[in-house]
Amino acid sequence: MIRFQDVTKEYPKTGAALRGATFHVRKGEFAFLTGHSGAGKSTALKLVYLADRPTHGEVRVSGFATNRMAPSDVPRLRRRLGIVFQDFQLLEERTAEENVAFALEVTGARRAGIGPRVMRVLTQVGLAGKAKQYPRELSGGEQQRVAIARALVNDPVVLLADEPSGNLDERATRGVFQLLRDINASGTAVLMATHDLDLVRSLPGGHLIELQSGEVVFDSAADPAAEEAP
Amino acid sequence: MSLVLRETVNAFRRAPLLSALSVTTIAFSLFVFGLFGLVAVNIQRAIGSVSERVEVVAYLKRGVPVETVTLALSDIDAFPEVEQVTHVTENEALARARQDLTEFQDIFQDLEANPLPASLDVRLRPPFRDADHVAEVARRLQSFAFVDDVRYGRDWIEKLDRLRNIAGAVGLAVGAAFALVAIIIIGTTIRMAVLQRSREIAIMRLVGATDRFIRAPFLLEGLVKGALGGVLALGLSAAAWALIDAALLRSVFFTPLQAASGVAAGALLGFLGSALSVGRHLRGV
């Protein structure tokens, strides 16, 4: 599903954000990328959704070798991903349902099918009753649910979440995390960057990848044979 | 396509003040260009009306048979430079002199014989009313055996040429400068609109919208803003012209074709400004 092979990402000003990272997130898996801030979690996610390209190494996502992808092919990959951020990234002047519908409209979905699909995902995240409300009228947890609904509406193969609970209180965090687990249970892989170890511990079967200064220092699913391969 | 239209309308609705500001800015930069255009059009017209007086006159020797002149007339009329050639007989020349030169009325009354020669008055087509072409036509007229002398105001035409060249060069330079300023202002205005919606653009990209799709509403928005700015600028120019025409000096306004071209140029500038701004933004993120 997502495979990092000896990936290094260097930035001209700040130096290496990832150093020789190798890990593999399988289909249907719930994986955590953990580590302190600056450990390289967000950089790793950016390489997955192609906001950046690796300096060395290879990143493969859902069958795409991202290193060799032409810029014009990037949208094709992104349509297979759902992305959720700490700051929700909602459009303030659009209602919840318009924010979700936006993801379908701008990717050329047929107009007739948009309404039902939007309501389906808003129901899935528990916000069917707040479809007409604007982000400013919703709580942080609800805004993040709208963002998750937007990420889900294109039926992604993997949901990427970059500190999705970073701006939420504990109760909202639990609610959002449970939602991500439900989504995962229905077959969508989830790769979540978080520094909240309590969340990680609450899902014992999850795949844990720990980063430190850009290096993978622990991988609960590491295959020693794969690591020794050239 | 309907989504592109809807997004364009929404862009105006969501940021009415910024949109109005963009249209007004575009309108004023085009208005300045329009005023310059009005000056250029009027100078061109003035030079054009002076050029209409450019004429080559070939004086004929006495006693040339009418058939010879008639034959030559059709030859001369076939010159590509020639708009019209008129045969003025000796009697017509005298009649014309009597009419035009009233102060010499007495002299004309006392004449026993007509001293004025017949002539061929040659008017040139507008593109050939410059010194070089006039001299060339004069040379060809002189080669006819029955032509005694050829006259045209050489100095006067050369001065007209210089004036035309200077007006053309100044017009081109000032026009290009005004156009450049208009392009920069319009580009900056549209860049503001793009930056204002950078978050939207970022989200569009994240959910997998193609750059072409992202660009489309901005291009249409730029086109509409440019056209609206053009219409507003045309209105301002018309008002300014009406004021000048009534209070200062008689002048002409743009022809409908020129006016439509101005609005179309506004739309094109808006479109290109958007294309540049969005393109730069998309490359930068």
Helix (H) or strand (E) holding A43: helix A41-48
* Last residue of one domain, picked from the residues B124, B151, B178: B151
**B17 in contact with A, Cβ within 8 Å:** no
Q: Does some domain include residue A161? A: no
- Give the domain CATH number at B97: 3.30.70.3040
Q: Last residue of a domain, which of B83, B118, B151? A: B151
In a domain? residue A132: no
More confident residue, A217 or B167: A217
Query: What number is the average pLDDT over the span A155-162?
Result: 93
Residues B79 and B203 in one domain: no
Tens digit of pLDDT for each residue in B259-277?
999 899 889 988 988 888 8
Question: Of B151, B170, B205, which marks where a domain is finished?
Answer: B151
Please report whether residue B147 resides in a domain.
Answer: yes
| B175 inside domain | yes
**Residue A228 confidence class, pLDDT cut points 50, 70, 90:** very low
Show residues of chain A in contact with B1, CB under 8 Å.
Answer: none
**Range 82-121 of B in CB contact (< 8 A) with A:** none
Do B275 and B165 share a structural domain?
A: yes
DSSP string of A119-180, one letter each residue: HHHHHHTT-GGGTT--GGGS-HHHHHHHHHHHHHTT--SEEEEESTTTTS-HHHHHHHHHHH
Domain that holds residue B263: 2-49+161-284
Nearest to B204 among A49, A76, A106 (CB): A106
Please tell me the distance in Å from B230's CA to the nearest CA on chain A. 30
Share the mean pLDDT of chain A: 90
Query: What was the pLDDT predicted at A24?
Result: 94
Q: How many domains does chain B have?
A: 2
Is A224 a residue whose pLDDT tops 60?
A: no
Residue A5: pLDDT over 60: yes
B167 and B279 assigned to the same domain: yes
Q: Say what the pLDDT of residue A226 is.
A: 43
Q: What is the pLDDT of residues B138-192, one digit of tens each?
A: 899 888 888 888 888 777 778 887 888 888 888 889 888 887 887 788 778 778 8
Taking an 8 Å cut-off on Cβ atoms, the answer to whether A78 and B205 are in contact is: yes
pLDDT surpassing 50 at residue A225: no
Q: Nearest CB to B213: which of A91, A106, A154? A: A106
User: What is the pLDDT, as a whole number, of residue B1?
Assistant: 55
B224 contact partners, CB below 8 Å, separation of at least 6: B8, B12, B267, B270
pLDDT at A131: 95
Q: What is the pTM of this model?
A: 0.70
Q: Do B15 and B138 fall into the same domain?
A: no
Q: Taking CB atoms and an 8 Å limit, are A107 and B202 in contact across chains?
A: no
Residues B166 and B42 in one domain: yes
CATH number at residue A70: 3.40.50.300
Closest to B203 in 3D by CA, of A68, A89, A55, A154? A89
Considering the domain architecture, whether residues B34 and B104 belong to the same structural domain is answered as no
pLDDT greater than 90 at residue B134: no
Angle between helices B16-51 and B211-247 (to 10 degrees): 50
Residue of chain B whose alpha carbon sits nearest to that of A76: B208
B213 CB neighbours in chain A (<8 A) are 106-108
For position B32, what pLDDT does the model report?
A: 87
B5 shares contact with chain A (CB less than 8 Å): no
Residue A75 distance to chain B (closest CA, Å): 4
Contact call for B209 and A106, based on CB within 8 A: yes
In this structure, the answer to whether residues B219 and B255 fall within a common structural domain is yes
Per-residue pLDDT band for B256 (boundaries 50, 70, 90) equals very high
Q: Which amino acid is at B44?
A: Q
According to the model, what pLDDT value does residue A159 have?
95
Q: Is residue B83 part of a domain?
A: yes
Query: What total of structural domains would you count in chain A?
Result: 1
Predicted confidence band of residue B285 (pLDDT cuts 50, 70, 90): low
Q: Give the per-residue pLDDT at A223.
A: 54
pLDDT the model gives residue A167: 84
- B165 shares a domain with B45: yes
Domain that holds residue A60: 1-80+199-230
Pairing type for strands A81-85 and A2-11 reads unpaired
Residue A40 covered by a domain: yes
Same domain, B245 and B171: yes
Residue A19 within any structural domain of the chain: yes
Q: Answer yes or no: do B278 and B137 share one domain.
A: no
Give me the pLDDT at residue A189, please: 94
Quick check: is A141 in a domain?
no
Least confident stretch, A51-55, A116-120, B60-64, B230-234: B60-64
Side chain identity at A34, as an amino acid letter?
A: T
A227 has a pLDDT exceeding 50 = no
A89 to B214: CB separation less than 8 angstroms, yes or no: no
Would residue B270 count as lying in a domain?
A: yes
For B211, nearest residue in chain A (alpha carbons) = A72
Would residue A33 count as lying in a domain? yes
Give the pLDDT score at B185: 80
Q: Report the share of chain B in percent with pLDDT over 90.
A: 9
Cβ distance of B206 and A49 shorter than 8 Å: yes
pLDDT confidence of residue B3? 75
Q: Which of A202, A211, A131, A147 is nearest to A170 (CA)?
A: A202
Instruction: Convert the pLDDT of each residue in B102-121 to its tens digit.
Output: 777 777 777 777 888 889 89
pLDDT (mean) for A68-73: 86
The pLDDT of A53-71, averaged and rounded, is: 90
Give residue ranges of A with CB < 8 Å to any B CB: 49, 71-72, 75-79, 81, 83, 89, 91, 93, 102-103, 105-108, 111, 150, 154
Give yes or no: residues B103 and B129 share one domain.
yes
Least confidently predicted of B188-192, B233-237, B254-258: B188-192
**Residue A148 is assigned to a structural domain of this protein:** no
Mutate to test the interface with B, among A72, A83, A106 (most CBs of B within 10 A): A106
Is 90 exceeded by the pLDDT of residue A116? yes
State residue A230's pLDDT score.
Answer: 37
Q: Which residues of A touch B202 (CB under 8 A)?
A: 89
Residue B234 lies in a domain: yes
**Shared domain check, B223 and B189:** yes
* Closest alpha carbon within chain B to A81: B207
Instruction: Compute the average pLDDT of residues B60-77.
Output: 86
Question: Which residues 177-216 on chain B approach chain A with CB closer than 8 angstroms?
Answer: 199-200, 202-211, 213-214
Which residues of B are less than 8 Å from A75 in CB distance?
Answer: 205, 208-211
Which amino acid makes up residue A213? S
Residue B172 lies in a domain: yes
Instruction: Tell me, yes or no, whether B156 lies in a domain.
Output: no
| A5 domain residue, yes or no | yes
- Are A108 and B208 inside 8 Å of each other by CB? no
Residue of B nearest to A73 (CA): B210
